[in-house]
Structure 1
Amino acid sequence: MYQTMRKLFVFRENIKSATKMEILLNYPGLQAVRKHDSPMQQSVREYKGLLFVNDKSFKIHLHQSNSTWLMHNPTDDPIIYALNSQNFKHAWNYLDAYKKQLEPIHLSHQPVPVDIYRRVIQEHQEFVNFHIYLKTVQLASDLSHITIIYVDGKFRNHQITITVNYNQGKLFQIGCCKLPVTLSASDDSLINLFEVFVAQVENFQQFFDVMDVIDQFLWTVDPEMPTRADVRRRVILDVNLSVEMVFNPNHPMTLPEMRLFGPVGRVQQIESVLNNNFESWSEDGDVIDELTKIFEVAVFPERGSLDKECGIGECGICLSTRGHSSKLPEVFCPNSPCDQCFHTDCLYKFLQQSLQEYSTKVQGSCPYCKQRITCENPQQ
């Protein structure tokens, strides 16, 4: 008896799966919404997305009420109102009837790429079944793109958006992904294209390791929210003193390029220390140990440990720490009793008021102490 019931259950589940796939292939703009009826069973009682009729698209939200399928929010649509009054036992019957009513009203001006829609649906299904290290895979309701979050071997999340090309050329192409290099590729296979992205993620594992350590143990103020694509970190050294480090993603343990920001006198002192210690940098060491060695410090300041906000002074012109596009002050008055800092944009605009056009640099008087100060063009 148990075996008979089990076979019947499997048979019914296979019918449900086949029915769901048939709906998605014939109506590729729709996505099934699963709801848990019990801990042991899942069923599809809703479909959401777009219904394509000739060259038009219509938003659909179809749900099952008791044993009848209905459309959500009929409003003043007489077609939906009439169909909702009928008794549709199956979702595809409702969709077929709705599409049949719409086709003579909305005549086609250009063909809808239904075959491409089907290919996208099939590629998406195969992809989900093929990969196991996926956190999320979201196919857009209009089938324009697929957003994927991949989890690497160290449990880091990496997001990529793959767009669908409905023109000539390969079906899928990489749209947006956060990597320290520009990745441009296309393929007719979603799996093959995604493997290109995964290969790059694995290639930059050491770079991600180094940047994670920097963000964990140092006080990074720029960028505010680093992504996997950012090779630059501006780190606090002391009040009004910071260093910008740019790492080579292909060789992350080589000595990073450095640029110091702070009062001129203090910057010169740090530069002298660095010049004496650069050659002692070891690519085989720990990045934090190597940085403390060349800066000759026991430890770097902990986040929030300094008196001033972010350890960065306020711009003397706009009176804020973060200016346009969340940039931090970069220019300091060379007059040591002043040492006022400014955003490059703010100071450049202030100094160039007497100029007729932008140049590479401008010179003028510090707004505070009137000493001579130079500022580079932020547009360069």
Structure 2
Amino acid sequence: MDLVEEIESLLQNGSNCSLPVLLDSLKSVVTQKICTTETVTADLIDLEFLEDVKNIISYENIPVFFGKTLRDIKCIILDERLREHPIFIMYKGPKKLIISSVVLPHSPLQDREYTSLEEIITAFKKHVDSLSTYFHELERIDRFCTIMEPVEPTFKDDYRRILLDDRIWLHVEVTPEGLASNIHLVGQSELWSNKLQQGLLSWDHDKEIIENIMTVFDLVNFPAGSRKSSTTTTISDDRPMIEPSLCGICLCAELPESPGIPLPLCPNPPCGVYFHRNCLFQWLVACGGGRPPPFGVATGSCPACLESIACCERDD
């Protein structure tokens, strides 16, 4: 039996063993087959890496899971509120680990290489601790507001679009420090727009984002929408969700090549037709002769009510 077959046999028969015991068995097999190694091939495993994993499990008390191969690793870091933050790691070779995915806002930590699993755990523990206010603010928004976008929000999404009424949403981004930024309305409403412009002048960053929003718009409670059924894990199971409307152009709610859901982009309140931003932009460009519009803003008539309408290619 060669090395690969022995390892596969251990993995298949070791399902009832603890991970440290399994790692010891792997190390024993590898030690018998090879003396030293500087690279990892299909037949070789880095002993130092296996020892690193064992130490993380034994001393750091961090759950570690292997994927389909020993090169794919998932670690789970708990914050002070016992929230779970999975980190997906790719083993590229001895002292060469990279982050393949995290459910956290992007940071420079995800773009560098690491020499050990311990180095990754130490760096991300500190990073997760620094995001405590960020987590808290997003959880509060998700708990009390009807979230229109993202459709399935996680801590990786640093923005929320909150339902204010049937045609108006509030876009809020949350910085890693837990502060609100890039606050603007999605949809046309003079009433909501005036409230926002006046309220932003008195925005208090010492208060929670949710409290500021309620003050700005004179809200006692946030509008509630019908709950959207889903089997995907989200931040809060108590969050009300609304089924997205169909786009008046493509007649779909979601398109793989066009992220986002239809929005109330027409400025005519009685219109009530929603559009994907990309669909409306392409429609207006085509109606205008197909030439790229100046400054990236296409103008024309609403496809539904013929009211004058303008649309940017991207929502900035």
TM-score of the aligned structures, taking structure 1 as reference length:
0.64
Structure 1 portions without partners, runs of 5+? 1-22, 37-41, 52-90, 100-109
Q: CA deviation at 1:287?
A: 2.9
Q: Which structure has the highest strand share of the two?
A: 1
Percent identity reads 25
The 10-residue stretch of structure 1 (239-248 or 312-321) with the greater mean CA deviation from structure 2:
312-321
Q: CA deviation at 1:206?
A: 0.8
Provide, for residues 25-84 of structure 1, a one-character-per-residue CA deviation record: whole Å limited to 9, x for no partner.
995565364466xxxxx699xx9xxx9xxxxxxxxxxxxxxxxxxxxxxxxxxxxxxxxx
Provide, for residues 330-370 of structure 1, a one-character-per-residue CA deviation record: whole Å limited to 9, x for no partner.
35222344243311121122222243444412222221222
- Residue 245 (structure 1) aligned with residue 172 (structure 2): yes
Q: Secondary structure at the match of 2:242?
A: helix
The AA in structure 1 aligned to 2:307 is Q
Provide closer, same or farther for how the CA distance between residues 156 and 366 of structure 1 changes in structure 2, counting only shifts above 3 A.
Answer: same
Structure 2 portions without partners, runs of 5+? 34-38, 228-240
In structure 2, distance between residues paired with 1:241 and 1:172: 45
Provide closer, same or farther for how the CA distance between residues 154 and 323 of structure 1 changes in structure 2, counting only shifts above 3 A.
Answer: same
> Does the Cα contact within 8 Å between 1:282 and 1:290 map onto a contact in 2?
yes
In structure 2, distance between residues paired with 1:279 and 1:379: 23
> Does the Cα contact within 8 Å between 2:92 and 2:98 map onto a contact in 1?
yes
In structure 2, the residue matched to 1:105 is none
1:292-371 correspondence to structure 2 within 5 Å = 292-304=214-226, 310=242, 313-324=245-256, 325=258, 327-330=260-263, 332-354=265-287, 355-359=289-293, 360-371=296-307
In structure 2, distance between residues paired with 1:228 and 1:177: 10
Q: Secondary structure at the match of 1:161?
A: strand
Q: CA RMSD in A?
A: 3.5
Where relative contact order (Cα < 8 A, 6+ residues apart) is larger, the structure is: 2
Q: CA deviation at 1:163?
A: 1.4
1:272-283 correspondence to structure 2 within 5 Å = 272-283=194-205
| Higher-Rg member (1/2) | 1
In structure 2, distance between residues paired with 1:213 and 1:375: 32
Alignment length (residue pairs): 282
Provide closer, same or farther for how the CA distance between residues 335 and 291 of structure 1 changes in structure 2, counting only shifts above 3 A.
Answer: closer
> Does the Cα contact within 8 Å between 2:64 and 2:76 map onto a contact in 1?
yes
> Does the Cα contact within 8 Å between 2:167 and 2:272 map onto a contact in 1?
no
In structure 2, distance between residues paired with 1:147 and 1:43: 16
In structure 1, distance between residues paired with 2:224 and 2:290: 45
Q: CA deviation at 1:270?
A: 0.8
TM-score of the aligned structures, taking structure 2 as reference length:
0.76
- Residue 259 (structure 1) aligned with residue 188 (structure 2): no
1:34-183 correspondence to structure 2 within 5 Å = 34=14, 112=41, 116-132=45-61, 134=62, 136-166=63-93, 170-182=95-107, 183=109
